[in-house]
Amino acid sequence: MQCALSDADRQTVKTSPTTTRSTSSLVRISVDPVSPVGPLDPFWAGQIIHPTERLLTEEGQSFLRLLAEKGACRAGVRIYNQPEEAIRPGADGQFSYDWSRFDGMADQIAALGCPLKVVFFAMPYELALDPTSEKTRPNGAKVCISPPKDYELWRAMCADFMRHIMERFGEEAIRRWSFRCWNEPDLTHFWHEGNVTEYLKLYDYFADGVKSVCPEARIGGPALSANKIYLDPAPFIQFLDHITSGTNHATGTPGSPIDYLGIHTYGGKSGGPGHGRDYPDSDYMLEKQFRLRDIRNRYPTLRSVPIHVEEWGESSEGTTGIDRQPMSDIRNSEHGAAFLVNWVGRHLRLRQEGVADFTSFTFCASGYEIDRTRDFHGYRTLHTLNGFHKPALNGYALLAKCADTQVRCQADPDTLQYQVVAAADMNRITVVVGDYQPSRIQNDGPASSVTIVVNNPWSEVVNLTLRHWRIDANHSNAYSVFKTLGSPETPSPEHVHAITDRMSLELLEPERRLPEAAEWTLDFDLPCNGVSLIEIDRTSKESP
């Protein structure tokens, strides 16, 4: 029998004394820290280093360290293995490979404790059937995107790479990595004529080469383009037909091995809204994911194959800025952090319901591959030309502060607008709540009045500290400061100091002691597209 709480057992805490309760939407969130759901796996914290060769520069190496510092790459980092740089033709007409360039980049990622997501891309000219089938890389260099003239040479190259990394990094590490054949082979600027039928052959020989060296290696495909496949999923279906019942080009047997399905999904296209939409939206991105999952589920043997979302973002075309699509400005503001927290919360809810189809997500930071001339141009980057952190990067930092175990919570009203990530461990309770209003691309919608009710899980007498972290127009937001300063094209040293001073994750108010109680009620207002993290930290009364 549960006893009713007296008023003395309850404590109502206003987290910002200067805030007046608004008359806008009301949301009440109940959190039970002693009802675990499961480990809070940071599945959202995967990143793409684009272009891969950025890791050969000090700028790229600094960016990787920044991602690690913010907790944004704990789930993995994607790079190309770049065989075109490794091939060494011999006088006898045979080929060998020097993978030291890849090693130098992979070492940096592995040193951070992050698994690698390796994409086999592109085709060495020496192996190409059509050396004139090319793609221009962001650094101006050309790479070949032709099929091989002899698929046995492609298979041998894949096997050589695997033998090398097995020896260099060890089998235990390799089992944590994932390996994918090519990128967006349905597009003519990534694969010869966008010929998916030819890609099936490339995949089979890739799979056979990789698995011949390490049968436990996790391999996947096809990672087709997001918007094209949304309109016509036939190439995705063609791939699934082939791996389930087609004749394997490399082995002659039915079907092809696969350990995960790679897909690309965005919340919009060309820096703006998606097909039939008025604005970029996490709902549009998840609709794409669910549509591809439902197609996968038509194949009984694939229903247990996990789906990796290997590119995602608020909108595709990361180098489309505000000069071409004004709506891409959402990639500068707090809108980006709210988008992140919203889809993470929705996928956590699915996991709580036992739906675990999607196991990995990799953000595609794009815009670094072109010459940037100004800050906050609306590219799909996490920081700007002068190193100013965007609110989306603080979204990762905020999620990285979550406790280790997801716990049960309930929002009323239970709508897509409000997503909650509640977690706890032995000494902390954390509650993330986002007020996502995607139609308000200027973040000018009404605020919400939030009440969070948290049960106290600790029976012993303790010291309790309350911290309230916030991302909104006035907190953790370099872009707001940048605009206040007149959006300078060439920021002065004074501008740089003012912007960098406000670009990291900030508290809404100074941390303070929380009174002991059986239950805490925390009241605060949350602006449109704002994100809050409530953190309750305990120490023993005997602790100094």
Residue 357 — φ and ψ, nearest 5°?
A: -70, -35
The residue among 192, 118, 196, 202 whose CA lies nearest residue 152 is 202
20 has pLDDT over 50: no
Calpha distance 127→409 (Å, rounded):
56
What is the CB neighbour count within 10 angstroms for residue 504? 13
188 has pLDDT over 90: yes
Task: Determine contact, residues 122/185, Cβ cutoff 8 Å.
Answer: no
Structure token pair of residue 342: 């919203």
122 has pLDDT over 60: yes
Secondary-structure percent of the chain, ordered helix, strand, coil, rounded to 5: 30, 25, 40
At residue 97, the 3 state secondary structure works out as strand
pTM of the predicted protein model: 0.95
Q: What is the pLDDT of residue 1?
A: 29
CA distances from 468 to 331, 471, 506, 514, 523 (A): 24, 10, 9, 12, 11
Q: Percent of the chain at pLDDT above 90?
A: 91
Structure token pair of residue 26: 């009301």
Calpha distance 273→276 (Å, rounded):
8
3 has pLDDT over 70: no
Calpha distance 455→422 (Å, rounded):
12
22 has pLDDT over 80: no
- Mean local confidence (pLDDT), 382-397: 99
Please state which of the four CATH numbers 3.30.413.10, 2.60.40.1500, 1.10.3210.10, 3.40.50.10470 is assigned to the domain occupying 7-39+405-540: 2.60.40.1500
Q: Which range is least confidently modeled, 131-145, 332-346, 427-441? A: 131-145
Q: What is the pLDDT of residue 219?
A: 99
Calpha distance 522→28 (Å, rounded):
10
187 has pLDDT over 80: yes
Superfamily of domain 46-400: Glycosidases (3.20.20.80)
User: What is the maximum alpha-carbon separation in the chain?
Assistant: 87
pLDDT averaged over the chain?
95
Confidence of residue 24 (pLDDT cuts 50, 70, 90): low
DSSP 401-460: TS-SEEEEEEEES--TTEEEEEEE-SSEEEEEEEE--TT-TTS-S--EEEEEEEE----S
Calpha distance 500→386 (Å, rounded):
10
Structure token pair of residue 321: 């800025």
Domain boundaries, given as residue ranges, for the chain = 7-39+405-540, 46-400
508 has pLDDT over 50: yes
Q: What is the pLDDT of residue 459?
A: 84
Calpha distance 154→122 (Å, rounded):
11
Burial (CB < 10 A; 0-12, 13-18, 19+), residue 238, is: middle
DSSP bridge pairs for 289: none
End-to-end C-alpha distance for the chain, whole angstroms: 37
CA distances from 426 to 276, 418, 433 (A): 47, 27, 21
